[in-house]
Amino acid sequence: MKIVDHGTWPLTPADESLHTPGAELLWNESYYYDFAAPDGSYGGYVRLGLYPNWDRAWYWACLVGPDREPLILTDNFAPLPTEGTELKTDRYRATQTLSADFAKAHLVLDGVTDSGTPLAFDLEWTTAGGAYPYKDLPRYEVPCRVTGTVTAGEEVIAVEAFGERDHSWGERDWWNVSWLWTSGRLDDGTFFHGMQANIGIPLPWPCFEVPPSGNLYHLDGFSAETKFGDDDLPASSRLRVPGAPLTAVPLAFASVDVTSPTGQEAHFPRALCRFTADDGRVGHGWTEWHQPPGWKDHGWTFLGESE
């Protein structure tokens, strides 16, 4: 399994497992999984976030699409697993199994959404091109092919999709920093990923590409500009992926609100998106635009300022 050499810490197979918590109240260990149909007709994501020093877990799962009612399961008060990462509550059971070589991850969910609809996932993420560790941060991203089944009420979807999974650990203050994160796959088979934190200064933000039938490699110079609507939801983003600039347009949102230990509120719009590259390629994937208190003053670049 190829691991790019962009990281400043040595990524090893042991990093797929849980890590020793730090002392910070908001020390967090997070696993993300998302998927998008090649035609954009459906998509979903799962996030497991463990806060051992705050004595809780966050678990989110969803199924959305441009022509379907969004189904979202949110639990920000789940009990911490007694062992491993399995969650079991009165409303859902969720498990994940990761291989020792970054090659596969298998996720199972059997639960009920916030609206009362049964929702079940039995999905496998198979790595496509390699694993990408962030520079200076204990975090890595893995582009994947996603297969299996999703059951929503009486509907059963045979999933043949693409997506990304990631794993991070360390202090995670959702009420301090805003960011844009994006990943997708274009119709020629190219995967891409980019992230930009809004801290007021330009940095070489994490960015990679996986060409068709190729290996993952790091790109320098990612940046993004976004147009927001009157409701503060993003209408589109200009994603400056080096060598392949793109425009992202949300097709369906699966947003979540989160409250800090001191009562601060943050909004987390995450959306299934259609991506259109300047060279004519199109594709689908996910983008998120995190909005903590005062997020508009966090150094965002808004479309219209630079174009």
Q: Which two tokens stand for residue 54?
A: 């705050």
Per-residue pLDDT tens, the chain, 307 aa: give them: 678 877 778 899 999 999 999 999 999 999 999 999 999 999 999 999 999 999 999 999 999 999 999 999 999 999 999 889 999 999 999 999 999 899 999 999 999 999 999 999 999 999 999 999 998 899 999 999 999 999 999 999 999 999 999 999 999 999 999 999 999 999 999 999 999 999 877 778 899 999 998 899 999 889 999 999 999 999 999 999 999 999 999 999 999 999 999 999 999 999 999 999 999 999 999 999 999 999 999 878 887 654 4
What are the residues whose beta carbons fall under 8 Å from the beta carbon of 48, sequence distance 6 or more? 30, 31, 57, 58, 59, 85, 87, 94, 96
Contact 4, 133 (CB under 8 A): yes
Q: How far is CA 116 from the centre of its chain?
A: 24
Beta strands in 54-211 (DSSP E): 56-65, 68-78, 87-88, 92-98, 104-112, 118-127, 132-133, 139-152, 155-171, 178-186, 191-198, 207-210
Does the pTM of the predicted model rise above 0.85? yes
Domains and CATH numbers, the chain: 29-297 (2.40.370.10)
